[in-house]
Copies of this chain bind each other. A is one copy, B any other.
């Protein structure tokens, strides 16, 4: 598909599979980011990872050799926290990591399953039958349910498959029969809306760069942004074999 990236003011990079693969940087990612910055393009990062804080992800990018400010890094957990704050949601039961719970505790009252009015669900690698039971009960009584994202799996350590937040959210919808009121992660738009609001750049002047057709391309389309898909060939979207190829693609025009 033909590419037209005139008027683009910002590039939003997915992380896992685009910039890094676990703790390793993907060859060409840093150079591409530096190149785009030299052309006056603002660089942002958007990941569905809700298990880590923005600060953790920022520190990780620094370790990988990529310069960025914490304000440039967006994850679904952060967007969930902002949503809970904005809506003034109280009495929240959380399925998620300890750091996610800590971030949420700054904007809402964390409660047990028998006192929940709000349920927030992200990835929880310590999810077990006890937590499933509590989460089910919290889901049944909650007035508001927020999912970080519905990614059922991801490729992690050792390039092996792991269950994603979608394992926890799928459990909630299957066992409680309730659907979420909000899904804040990609491919839904709340994360893009927040990036646009905070940067003052309209979505139409941003390009999303990622390796997932469903998550990244869907995200850009739903928000009205441009997009580039890495490592896959699709007829209906601009594709490049590797992250390195973005440089030539965006500056042949």
Contacts from A to B (Cβ < 8 Å): 124-129, 132-133, 136-137, 140, 152-153, 160-164, 166-167, 170-171, 174-175, 177
Contact = CB atoms under 8 A, between A and B. Distances in A.
Contacts of A171: 163, 167, 170-171
Nearest to A169: B174
Number of copies: 2
9 contacts: A126-B129, A127-B128, A127-B129, A127-B132, A129-B163, A133-B161, A136-B153, A137-B160, A170-B171
Given A132-B167, A140-B161, A161-B140, A152 B127 contact: no
A175 B160 contact: no
Given A128-B126, A152-B175, A175-B153, A133 B170 contact: no
Nearest to A153: B175
Given A127-B128, A128-B128, A133 B174 contact: no
Contacts of A125: 129
Given A161-B140, A167-B175, A175-B170, A129 B132 contact: no
